[in-house]
């Protein structure tokens, strides 16, 4: 597919806002990086999953398709490490816009192949390690680099952006403002420790309020073990915004980014997701270590048929 086929499109943003305004649960997808590993594709740092955009694009597209077939309504494009900072360390620094666009195109192509309603969000994570708040860059770098990544996502035509795995209030604020400034809808998600505090130690309640003030359209937590999510949801429920929860299965790894675990089978994971729903979460899915089987199990637990998709999606876009 030629570059520039998908341009910024307000229709997708309108659909995302409409979906967020509904009461029904929205089903997210699961991991991309650890799915690449599970299919035999190495994902060494610093490029991690971004390298597959060049080496295994067909597999990236296929992973998106498998999530759609499992029932996912919202795909996250493989832009987790297409920021200039990460790509520069891998020798691809001048390809940030190109690879971001390619990631979004692969997700769009999967939606076209599935011929079912779905939206595409870009991923805008921390510039440095998601689990190391002490590595967060200075304000000037945060402002410039998040603004550049947000612009690349907007040019690629995403329907919204996950400002995700945020471990400090400071970076979450800059990333959220950058997304909103690029005309994108920011959904902001934090990574917390055992208590309802960010990895920086800052209270999740303060982080949520700061993200809302910066323009967040939804709040959530991600890439933490399923059992640690409920206290976080109790905090987020105090905010007047939709809540998201997408847990991980495994542990971070210095060499390949993350090592997945099979300790939580899909049915058990779906049980966790239903408990998050009972605590107010409306966007449910998986993060590192999860598979299409985990998303399919959530869909079935919600009473949906993955083969037919979720109900009540009139007017949702199939592709752009």
Q: State how far the Cα of 219 lies from the Cα of 217, in Å rounded to an integer.
A: 7
Percent of the chain at pLDDT exceeding 70: 89
Q: How confident is the model at residue 9 (pLDDT cuts 50, 70, 90)?
A: low
Task: Specify the CATH architecture of the domain 25-301.
Answer: Alpha-Beta Barrel (3.20)
Counting Cα atoms < 13 Å in the Cβ hemisphere of 253 gives: 20
Residue-level pLDDT at 252: 52
Alpha helices in the chain (DSSP H): 10-21, 33-38, 52-55, 57-70, 84-89, 96-114, 139-156, 169-181, 204-214, 229-236, 266-278, 292-301
Domain map (residue ranges) of the chain:
25-301
Tens of pLDDT, residues 20-55: 999 999 999 999 999 999 999 999 889 989 999 999
Most confident range, picked from 8-17, 199-208, 256-265: 199-208
Tens of pLDDT, residues 204-252: 999 999 999 999 999 999 999 999 999 999 999 999 999 999 999 965 5
Decide which of 260 and 291 is more confident: 291
Peptide bond connecting 54 to the previous residue in cis, omega within 30 degrees of 0: no
Contact (Cβ atoms closer than 8 angstroms) between residue 31 and residue 260? yes
Tens of pLDDT, residues 277-320: 999 999 999 999 999 999 999 999 999 987 554 433 444 443 32
Say whether pLDDT at 192 is over 70.
yes
Residue-level pLDDT at 156: 97
């Amino acid at each position: 597919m030629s570059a520039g086929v998908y341009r910024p499109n307000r229709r997708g943003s309108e659909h995302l806002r409409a979906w967020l305004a509904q009461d029904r649960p929205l089903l997210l997808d699961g991991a991309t990086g650890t799915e690449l590993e599970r299919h035999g594709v190495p994902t060494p740092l610093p490029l991690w999953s971004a390298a597959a955009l060049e080496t295994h694009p067909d597999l990236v597209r296929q992973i998106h398709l498998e999530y759609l077939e499992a029932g996912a309504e919202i795909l996250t494009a493989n832009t987790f490490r297409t920021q200039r900072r990460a790509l520069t360390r891998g020798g691809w620094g001048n390809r940030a816009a190109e690879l971001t666009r390619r990631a979004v195109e692969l997700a769009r192509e999967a939606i076209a192949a599935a011929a079912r309603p779905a939206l595409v969000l870009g991923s805008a994570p921390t510039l440095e390690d998601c689990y190391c708040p002490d590595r967060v860059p200075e304000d000037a770098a945060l402002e410039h680099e998040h603004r550049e990544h947000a612009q690349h996502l907007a040019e690629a035509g995403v329907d919204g952006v996950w400002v995700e795995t945020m471990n400090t209030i400071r970076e979450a604020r800059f990333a959220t403002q950058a997304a909103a400034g690029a005309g994108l809808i920011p959904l902001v998600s934090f990574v917390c420790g055992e208590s309802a505090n960010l990895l920086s130690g800052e209270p999740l309640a303060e982080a949520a309020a700061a993200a809302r003030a910066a323009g967040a359209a939804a709040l959530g937590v991600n890439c933490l073990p399923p059992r640690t999510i409920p206290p976080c949801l109790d905090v987020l429920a105090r905010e007047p915004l939709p809540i998201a929860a997408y847990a991980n299965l495994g542990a971070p790894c210095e060499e390949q980014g993350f090592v997945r675990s099979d300790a939580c089978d899909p049915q058990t994971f779906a049980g966790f997701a239903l408990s998050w729903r009972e605590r107010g979460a409306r966007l449910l899915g998986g993060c590192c270590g999860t598979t299409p089987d985990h998303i399919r199990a959530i869909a079935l637990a919600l009473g949906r048929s993955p083969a037919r998709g979720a109900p009540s999606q009139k007017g949702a876009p199939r592709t752009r």
